[in-house]
Every structure is written in C-alpha cells, then in structure tokens.
Copies of this chain bind each other. A is one copy, B any other.
Amino acid sequence: MSVSTPPPLPVSRLGHRLSAEPVITQLMRQALQTPGLLSLAAGFTDNAVLPVEMVEAAVARLRADSPSREFLQYGSTHGRPGLRAATAAWLATYAGEEALALDPSQVLIGNGSQQSLYMSAQLFCDPGDIVLVEPPSYFVFLELLKGLGLEARSLPVTSEGRIDLLAFETALQTWQKSGEIRRVKMLYFMGTYGNPSSRCWPEEDKVGLAEVLSRREFVLPVIEDMAYRELWFERPWPARSVLSLPEWRNLPALYAGTFTKPFSTGLKVGYVASHCSEWVEKLARIKGHQDFGSTNFNQAIVEEVLRSGDFGRHLERIRPSYRRKMEALDAGLREAGIEELGWHWQKPEGGLLLWAEAPDDWDTSLEGDFYRMCLEEGVYYVPGDLCFGEGKPRNAVRLSFGVLEEAQLHEAARRFGAAARRYASSVRT
C-alpha cells in the first residue's frame, strides 16, 4: 500500500489562530538542534528536590485509608471538596489573610493554573478584545491571548516597573472617550515573583488599582496570578492578595494559584479562588466541556500532602535550595562581568526567574546576533521581547535558575558573559 500525502486540512478561522506555532516552540526546537547547550530558558523546577518519597507515601496512605478506592474514580468538574476546602485553608495561612473565609464553592481545581487563565479569557473576551497586562508579562499567557484573537495591552508603569496609577486612570478616561473601553475586558497581573520579572506588587498598588477601578462605571474582571507565591527565599512577600483586601471585595477578582510549581510540576494541579462565585461557577461550566474535571487521583495526593503537613515540609526543604541556585546565577553573572557592559538586574526574592536588562541598544531577540552568540557559546534564554504585548523592547532576557545545578548555573553564566563580551565588541567595531 503506498502512503501518499493527504490533502491539507480544512482548518477554521478560529483553528488557524489557535494552532499557529508558538514562538517558544521555535525557540525550543532551535535549541534542541544544538547539542551540549545549558538552558536558562525552561521554566522547569529542580528534579533533585521533587517529592517522590512524599508522593509515594501519600499514595500508600490513600490506598490504606480509602476502602472505597474512590480516589481512582472520576471526580467532579469543580474538583474534590476536600481539596477545595484545604486550598481555602492554605490561603488563609498567609499573614494578613487569616480572616479569608472562602467557601469551597469559591474554589475551582484545574490542570495547573493555566487552564483557568485560558477559560477566563474565553469567558470575558470575544476576538478583537483587549486584555491589560504588565510589561513584561507571562509569555505563555500572551500566546494564549493571541491564539484567542485578543490584544494584550501594557499597563502604564513607573521607572521601577510599578503600576502608574495616575497614568492608568488617564488611560481609562481616554479609552472611555474614544469608546475603546468597550473592548477592554480583563486585567492580568502577577502579585508575587512575576514571570518573567520576579517583581512583586506592594499592597498599596493593589489597593490603588482597586480604587481606580471602583471609580469607573464599568466592571473589569482582574486576575492576580500567584503561581510563585510559595517560593519565597527569606520571608513571604508581605502584601495581602486581592482575596483579602477590603477594597477588592466588590470587584470581580480571581486568585490563580497552583500546587504544580511549589510541589510537583508532574502533578499539574492548580486552582482559582474568588469571592465572585459566579466567575468560578462559569469557569466550571466551561471546564465541563473541556475535560469535565481534572485528575481526581492527583487531587487526592495533593489533598493528602496538605493534610499531613508534607506540603509545608517540602516547601521548607526547597526554598533554601532555590535560593542557593539564584545566588549561584547572580554571582555567576557578576563574575562574568556583564555589569561592566551595562547589564543590570534586581536580585529575585523568590520564584525561579531572573530578569536582566542590557543597555537599550542591545538586541536579545531570537533573530538577533546576541542570541546566536549565546547558542554558539552553549547557553540559551527566553528573549525579553516575547514578554510584551506591544512595544516589545529587545534589550532584556529571562533567565531561569530552576533546573540547572549550582555548578551548571556558574558555567551558564560564564558562557552568557562570553557571548555578551563578543556582542559588545562586535557592536563597537
């Protein structure tokens, strides 16, 4: 039987947008073609500290304690009631959030937190609509918006990267006058150790944002993505979340969190929580079409490690480990001498990422010479321009310290520095 090529697929308009190749896939493929590379690109966690023993023990306890075997059965679309309650209780362990009185019906479990970001964009936006994001913002979220035909527009920020509330209020007034406000449907920010910037939002900025939004006559749903909240180094970021700030109580705000990053990325259990039960319920209905519930087994494991306290013990173990890795990368970059070339960065206080900026005239994009030189030196990163809705400055990089060991991070930083020196001298000549 001869195997001939079938005709091209009749892909829909929607399908064309949704199935465009993400830039990051191009990046990964390009990188995989070059052997021996050290990756500062992948946002993976550290294999060495993955909680295999805790997971194995949790599975054994589930087997022993559940004669009904229900943890291997379908769950509900909303997620396990026990896990939803445990999630609400976990959020209330943060300082200032003790009074958080979430009903389990205000928590929805998903496949990581990504799924609920996707479904929220579907819930509020039609093609052509606008979502407000931080500059820089999470590039997978930006790709998701693009796939749904949405425009990501940057919030105005100060020189330190904080939201510029005055400028934002002015922008809202301008958009209201022009009528463009009718296309502005959602606002997305990362409250703690943002991806890619590792910046955190001071409480006063969240309060200020709520005040600006409360003064307008339209309703703007807001997502605070807290995927990295648990991964602090020295102390938890002190700002309360939108869930506990009284100024947010009457605004539709969704908290997106995950047990994936802080515990095990292989389990893919995330959640959203909101006092706006309508938002949560509508996401559950959309989820009913997509998969009618995330894996009940993994939810039972997470519920069990929260119950037993293993979750907290795991965090205590990994925080110093990620901190050492961050220090290794930071020290490596300093030793590599890139500060002398005009690079600068803030030392992250948590998370898995370091955001470094070169002088304005550098080009760190995928098509640029610096990226090529890094590949030649045996290291790669996520180009900063992928992390912007518009504007797309080309002088920054996102460096992950989650995966590599300390010695590898030193070596990766050395290679990065070698590429930077080559680039600087090539520009000079």
Contact = CB atoms under 8 A, between A and B. Distances in A.
Contacts of A147: 286, 289
A144 B276 CA distance: 25
Contacts of A12: 122-126, 129, 185
Contacts of A37: none
Interface string A33-72: 0000000000011011011110110011011001011111
A338 to B, nearest CB: 29
Interface in A190-221: 218-221
A18 B55 contact: no
Interface residues on A, range: 35 or more
Contacts of A246: 1
B15 A291 contact: no
Q: How many copies does the complex hold?
A: 2
A296 interface: yes
Contacts of A59: 55-56, 59
Given A72-B267, A123-B12, A279-B9, A291 B112 contact: yes
A211 to B, nearest CB: 16
B48 A15 contact: no
Residue of A59, A70, A119 with most partner-chain B CB within 10 A: A59
A290 B21 CA distance: 14
A9 B221 contact: yes
B125 A219 contact: no
A426 interface: no
A62 B8 CA distance: 41
Interface string A316-360: 000000000000000000000000000000000000000000000
B6 A123 contact: no
B297 A252 contact: no
B10 A267 contact: no
Interface string A1-24: 101101111111111001111100
B143 A276 contact: no
Contacts of A14: 122-123, 125-126
Given A266-B75, A289-B144, A297 B294 contact: no
Given A52-B72, A129-B12, A282-B11, A111 B294 contact: yes
A6 B265 contact: no
Nearest to A293: B268
A392 interface: no
A398 interface: no
A50 B63 contact: no
A285 interface: yes
A53 B123 CA distance: 41
A175 interface: no
Given A22-B288, A267-B297, A297-B264, A10 B221 contact: yes
A400 interface: no
A267 B282 contact: no
A87 interface: no
A218 to B, nearest CB: 7
A288 B142 CA distance: 12
Given A10-B221, A19-B285, 5 more contacts: A9-B276, A14-B123, A15-B122, A72-B264, A148-B289
Interface of A: 1, 3-4, 6-15, 18-22, 25, 44-45, 47-48, 50-53, 55-56, 59-60, 62-63, 66, 68-75, 111-112, 114-115, 118-119, 122-126, 129, 140, 143-144, 147-148, 185, 218-221, 246, 249-252, 264-268, 275-276, 278-279, 282-283, 285-286, 288-298, 300
7 contacts: A25-B285, A50-B72, A51-B72, A52-B72, A55-B72, A74-B266, A297-B298
